């Protein structure tokens, strides 16, 4: 081999960029409690399935301040991109490298990202983004000539990808600005506790612009973004847990909207779990109960994967399986805000319904709702508009929907959850414990019969008498008399009824009337 051997030269150039030859950078990343970009990709993808593109990419400086940057100073221009497989299915992926200029995205890195994103769009493969860095590289952004292109069409690409392939943004380090913008257009956003942060701007910019001095954790920690804002779907204890969550998420979804969701071997709940269903709901409508136990008694054993578990806790959104086939579950949670629908619950559930519909997952709604959350704070949040989001998404869905009323089905909350003939559902049934009315009986009596109660010799006795009268008219048997629902079933029958209804609705429905371009989301 001679010094000018081109084959050896290429191998040497690639080797210089490997983790093994960057010991200090790797040690620095590990000291922060993080895997490197390449380690993350190796962990996530099937063994030996990664085909990297742009490994030899170098910075593309356009100003004098950046002309001295070389490939050795910015290996792969700070982002690892390529294609691989997860559970045997193809995906497109990029991972920003925090050890290279803080994980910022330069012009060359942007071209690499655009390349894999375009291939994801053309070939219909999921797009996985592993974020660990500060977005656009500032040193390369202070020049109008290249910046005039905006984000080089990436937002447009993500918008086009939406509903066509699953899109994931994992926040695995400081991920303010551009990574957060990517996440806002993604379907699933896991974030690593302790290291992952997100927000439209980091501490330095916030202090410069507003004079507010807060840490990156105060501005966008995992707890804040999962529990208070709902921007992230799941907080993960470390990098490995985050990457495991991505694999789990994708296991419920098809490669793209034209493919069938993956199926696994059916694992029905055991007989005891099904029989316990009738004992979970307490006799008092004022008491909460474990909605998870009801879900577990209906879906396949151990198949539930909840999204946004700490945000909008008055509603549960979860993937699950029924006879091995993926479904989506939307359930009111009576242990939080009595299961009412507020702004957070509506946004959370409507987005989840849209994901299920886009990728062909039938939807089960489990209803126990006293209505839409009233009050001045709720009104200021725009609850009147936000509460329309869930019924909007359910009504425009083409996948089969099954609605089961467990207990309360009151007012617009009942409609929002798809009760009765509110939707063109495959199945709408009641449990014997169901109560249906335009609003809660006690509140209705206090409003409609106020004068009669006040003028009675014994106001409290008259009030109680009226409440008892109307409560006798809200039970499940009366609700089924005029075929407003398909019937009343025993809890243990629920799984079978839903499964058979979905089996009858094997094909998605096409909506071709009226001839309009689209409906307008009530945002």
Please tell me the distance from the alpha carbon of residue 301 to that of residue 185, in angstroms, as a whole number. Answer: 32
Q: What percent of the chain has pLDDT over 90?
A: 60
pLDDT tier, 137 (very low <50, low <70, confident <90, very high otherwise): low
Q: What span, in angstroms and rounded, lies between the C-alpha atoms of 135 and 182?
A: 10
pLDDT in tens, 344-379: 999 999 999 999 999 999 999 999 999 998 888 888
pLDDT at 29 over 70: yes
CATH superfamily, domain 271-434+475-505, is: 2-enoyl-CoA Hydratase; Chain A, domain 1 (3.90.226.10)
Q: What Rg value do the Cα atoms of the chain yield, rounded? A: 27
Strand, coil or helix: 285: coil
Give the chain's length.
Answer: 523
User: Would you call 365 helix, strand, or coil by DSSP?
Assistant: strand
What average pLDDT does the structure give for the chain? Answer: 88
Instruction: Choose among 188, 171, 520, 170: nearest CA to 352.
Output: 188
pLDDT band at 152 (very low <50, low <70, confident <90, very high): low
Q: What is the mean pLDDT of residues 90-105?
A: 89
Gap between the Cα atoms of 190 and 234, Å rounded: 5
* Residue 515 pLDDT exceeds 70: no
Spatial contact of 185 and 167, defined as CB atoms under 8 Å apart: yes
Dihedrals φ, ψ of 326, to 5°? -65, 140
Beta-strand pair 305-307/315-322? antiparallel
Q: How far is CA 129 from CA 84, 120, 174, 372, in A?
A: 13, 12, 14, 36
Q: Where are the domains of the chain?
A: 8-251, 271-434+475-505, 440-473
Q: Quick one: pLDDT band at residue 138, thresholds 50, 70, 90?
A: low
**Confidence (pLDDT) at 425:** 94
DSSP string across 5-39: -HHHHHHHHHHTTSGGG-HHHHHHHHHTT---HHH
Pick 159 or 311 by higher pLDDT.
311
| Predicted pLDDT at 70 | 54
| pLDDT tens by residue, 243-286 | 999 999 999 999 999 999 999 999 999 988 988 999 999 988 88
Supply φ then ψ for residue 508, to 5 degrees: -65, 150
pLDDT attached to residue 518? 64
pLDDT, one tens digit per residue, over 394-420 is 999 999 999 999 999 999 999 999 999
Distance separating alpha carbons of residues 116 and 112, to the nearest angstrom: 7
Percentage of the residues of the chain whose pLDDT score is greater than 70: 88
Task: Return the minimum-mean-pLDDT range out of 145-149, 316-320, 396-400, 406-410.
Answer: 145-149
Nearest CA-CA partner of 235 in 220, 250, 222 = 222
- Lowest-confidence region among 234-248, 359-373, 428-442: 428-442
Query: Per-residue pLDDT averaged across 443-461, rounded?
Result: 81
**pLDDT of 212 higher than 80:** no
- CATH fold, domain 8-251, is 2-enoyl-CoA Hydratase; Chain A, domain 1 (3.90.226)
Mean pLDDT of 220-236: 94
E-strand spans in 8-143? 51-53, 79-86, 89-96, 127-131
Confidence class of residue 1 from pLDDT cuts 50, 70 and 90? very low
Q: Return the pLDDT at 519.
A: 64
* H/E run at residue 346: helix 343-358
Residue 322 has pLDDT above 60, yes or no: yes
Token output for 174: 């400081």
More confident residue, 175 or 91: 91
Predicted local distance difference test score (pLDDT) of residue 62: 62
pLDDT, average across residues 227-236? 96
The whole-number pLDDT of residue 178 equals: 84
Residue 33 has pLDDT above 70, yes or no: yes
Strands 435-437 and 401-410: parallel
Range among 172-176, 305-309, 435-439 rated most confident = 305-309
Same CATH fold assignment for domains 8-251 and 271-434+475-505: yes
């Amino acid at each position: 081999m001679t010094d000018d051997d081109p084959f050896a030269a290429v191998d040497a150039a690639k080797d210089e960029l490997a983790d093994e030859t960057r010991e200090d950078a790797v040690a620095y990343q590990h000291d922060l409690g993080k895997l490197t970009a390449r380690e993350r990709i190796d962990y996530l993808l099937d063994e030996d399935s990664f085909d990297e593109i742009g490994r030899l990419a170098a910075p593309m400086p356009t100003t004098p301040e950046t002309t001295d940057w070389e490939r050795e100073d910015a290996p792969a221009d700070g982002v690892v991109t390529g294609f691989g497989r997860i559970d045997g299915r193809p995906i497109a992926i990029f991972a920003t490298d925090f050890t290279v200029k803080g994980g910022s995205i330069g012009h060359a890195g942007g071209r690499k990202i655009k390349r894999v994103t375009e291939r994801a769009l053309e070939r219909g493969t999921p797009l996985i983004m592993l974020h660990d860095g500060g977005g656009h590289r500032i040193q390369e952004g202070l020049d109008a000539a290249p910046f005039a292109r905006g984000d080089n069409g990436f937002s447009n690409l993500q918008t086009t990808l939406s509903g066509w392939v699953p899109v994931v943004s994992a926040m695995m380090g400081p991920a303010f600005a551009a990574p957060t913008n990517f996440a806002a257009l993604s379907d699933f956003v896991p974030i690593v506790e302790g290291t992952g942060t997100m927000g439209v701007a980091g501490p330095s910019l916030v202090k410069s612009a507003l004079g507010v001095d807060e840490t990156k954790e105060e501005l966008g920690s995992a707890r804040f973004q999962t529990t208070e804002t709902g921007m992230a779907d799941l907080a993960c204890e470390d990098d490995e847990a985050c990457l495991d969550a991505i694999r789990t998420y994708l296991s419920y979804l098809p490669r793209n909207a034209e493919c069938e969701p993956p199926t696994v071997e059916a694992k029905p709940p055991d007989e005891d779990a099904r029989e316990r269903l009738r004992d979970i709901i307490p006799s008092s409508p004022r008491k909460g109960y474990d909605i998870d136990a009801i879900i577990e008694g209906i879906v396949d054993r151990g198949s539930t994967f909840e999204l946004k578990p700490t945000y909008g806790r008055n509603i549960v959104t979860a993937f699950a399986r029924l006879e091995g086939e993926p479904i989506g579950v939307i359930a009111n949670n009576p242990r939080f805000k009595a299961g009412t629908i507020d702004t957070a619950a509506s946004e959370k559930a409507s987005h989840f319904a849209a994901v299920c519909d886009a990728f062909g997952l039938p939807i089960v709604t489990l209803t126990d709702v006293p209505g839409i959350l009233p009050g001045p704070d709720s009104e200021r949040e725009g609850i009147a508009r936000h509460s329309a989001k869930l019924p909007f998404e359910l009504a425009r869905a083409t996948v089969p929907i099954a609605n089961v009323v467990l207990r309360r089905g009151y007012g617009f909350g009942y409609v929002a959850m798809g009760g009765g003939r509110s939707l063109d559902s495959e199945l709408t049934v009641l449990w014997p414990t169901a109560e249906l009315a335009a609003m809660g009986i006690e509140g209705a009596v206090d409003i409609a019969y106020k004068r009669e109660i006040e003028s009675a010799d014994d106001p409290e006795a008259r009030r109680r008498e009226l409440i008892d009268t109307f409560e006798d008219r809200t039970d499940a048997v009366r609700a089924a008399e005029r075929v407003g629902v398909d019937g009343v079933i025993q809890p243990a029958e629920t799984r079978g009824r839903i499964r058979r209804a979905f089996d009858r609705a094997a094909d998605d429905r096409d909506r071709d009337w009226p001839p309009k371009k689209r409906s307008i989301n009530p945002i």
